[in-house]
């Protein structure tokens, strides 16, 4: 296995790409009390148009297929549910679907329990079982989940923001789809998606804990079923305009106080720059809207905002955006003041002491993630899907200078790339 060292934080990752294309990453943590495994496929809600490798035909699938398929992976021909089996062993097992990947995972403390769980875990992820009957049954279950999110103000705020930023990109679509779109899902569609995207060449398996890298790799390989690497998958996306789709969205829902989200559309940068850009944007957001920033103090003291301002940079291989959210009786004022603050820092320049303070905090937050095997596993999987080297967040730390961060500020934080979404009480 290739050894990737990160000497600054004294961490190592062992990486190997098997003949069938599966990428295995092991991050040993000899002092850890828990063991964590996560197996992900580069298949999320964004992947709704692709070329089916077996026939070369274009396939368009209903919105929500990746999430639906994740739900169905646990059901087995013998009538058992693999999630129940794993939980009965005392494992903390779960699965999730995002815009760009689907993941299956479990965590435990004991060696014996881990390897018993590994048998079931690696069997069900490699054993799809879809019938007309079990697919129809699942539509009712997922339909209830969709209705729950339809009534969730925070989720609707998030979705409305993405629909302001993007005109054509499928990230603007609910990961779970709608009751109407999932009604069109049937076993043939699920098998086509599974056979295309659950190919080992499109998957990454990460383990973290007290493991010997070569030993756990052998255990994993011994449980793999024969499967050839089908190579690169052709995904089809419409070209997304650089400009935002619209600058405002509003909903009336059951909230005691208006909630808002400001979205800023960013461009996609080459893989080698993603971690560096991510750090720069985190620093900018800390300077502009962090709890110690002048803007936050002004908004809070004048009761234009209640609680903290949350900010997040979301990105993957073909999208990137910044989200800033909170509670306010005057969301438009908050948006306007944010834009004013962007321009002020551009004109006056970034204060060196503030820059170094925020930068150190971001570094500390990243290093802290290495104290938890679950955080490590999710981080390495997500970064691998995004084509980011996780250790770049340390190795390129010193490359994130005031000059570089100022360039990112000038490029990204422009009012014509900003949208506001609001959910008000009614």
Catalytic residues: 70
- Residue the block writes with tokens 């297929």: 65
Q: What values do phi and psi take at 61, rounded to 5?
A: -110, 155
C-alpha span between 417 and 248 (Å, rounded): 12
Q: Cβ atoms within 10 A of the Cβ of 167, count?
A: 15
CA of 340: how far to CAs of 263, 302, 336, in Å?
15, 17, 6
Decide: 268 and 319 in contact? Cβ < 8 Å: yes
C-alpha span between 305 and 330 (Å, rounded): 8
C-alpha span between 41 and 200 (Å, rounded): 8
C-alpha span between 329 and 306 (Å, rounded): 9
Strand partners, 327: 259, 306
- Residue the block writes with tokens 């095997």: 373
């Amino acid at each position: 296995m290739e050894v990737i060292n990160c000497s600054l934080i004294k961490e190592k990752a062992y990486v190997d790409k098997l003949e069938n294309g599966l990428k295995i990453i092991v991050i040993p943590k000899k002092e850890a009390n828990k063991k964590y495994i996560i197996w992900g496929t580069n298949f999320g809600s964004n992947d709704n148009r692709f070329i089916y490798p077996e026939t070369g035909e274009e396939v368009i699938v209903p919105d929500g297929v990746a999430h639906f398929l994740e739900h169905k992976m646990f059901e087995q021909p013998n009538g058992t549910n693999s999630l129940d089996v794993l939980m009965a062993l005392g494992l903390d097992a779960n699965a999730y679907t995002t815009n760009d990947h689907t993941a299956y995972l479990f965590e435990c403390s004991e060696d014996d329990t881990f390897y018993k769980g590994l048998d079931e875990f690696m069997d069900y992820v490699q054993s799809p079982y879809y019938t007309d009957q079990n697919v129809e049954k699942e539509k009712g279950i997922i339909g209830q989940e969709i209705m729950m999110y339809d009534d969730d103000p925070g989720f609707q705020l998030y979705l409305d923001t993405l629909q302001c930023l993007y005109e054509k990109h499928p990230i603007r679509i609910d990961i779970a789809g709608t009751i109407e779109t999932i009604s069109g899902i049937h076993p043939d569609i699920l098998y086509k998606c599974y056979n295309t995207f659950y190919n080992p060449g499109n998957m990454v398996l990460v383990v973290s804990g007290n493991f010997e890298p070569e030993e756990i790799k052998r255990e994993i390989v011994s449980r793999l079923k024969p499967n050839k690497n089908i190579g690169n998958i052709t995904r089809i996306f419409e070209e997304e305009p650089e400009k935002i789709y619209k600058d405002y969205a509003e909903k009336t829902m059951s909230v005691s106080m208006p909630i808002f989200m400001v979205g800023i559309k960013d461009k996609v940068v080459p893989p080698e720059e993603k971690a560096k850009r991510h750090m720069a944007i985190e620093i900018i957001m800390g300077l502009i809207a962090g709890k110690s920033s002048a803007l936050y103090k002004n908004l809070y003291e004048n009761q234009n905002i209640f609680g903290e301002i949350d900010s997040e940079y979301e990105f993957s291989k073909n999208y990137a955006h910044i989200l800033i959210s909170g509670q306010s009786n005057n969301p438009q004022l908050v948006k306007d003041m944010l834009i004013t603050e962007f321009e002020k820092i551009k004109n006056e320049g970034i204060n060196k002491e503030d820059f170094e303070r925020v930068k150190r905090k971001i570094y500390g937050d990243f290093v802290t993630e290495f104290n938890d095997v679950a955080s490590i596993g999710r981080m390495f999987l997500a970064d691998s899907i995004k084509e980011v080297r996780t250790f770049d967040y340390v190795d390129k730390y010193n490359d994130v200078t005031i000059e570089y961060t100022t360039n990112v500020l000038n490029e990204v934080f422009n009012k014509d790339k900003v949208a506001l979404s609001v959910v008000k009480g009614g």
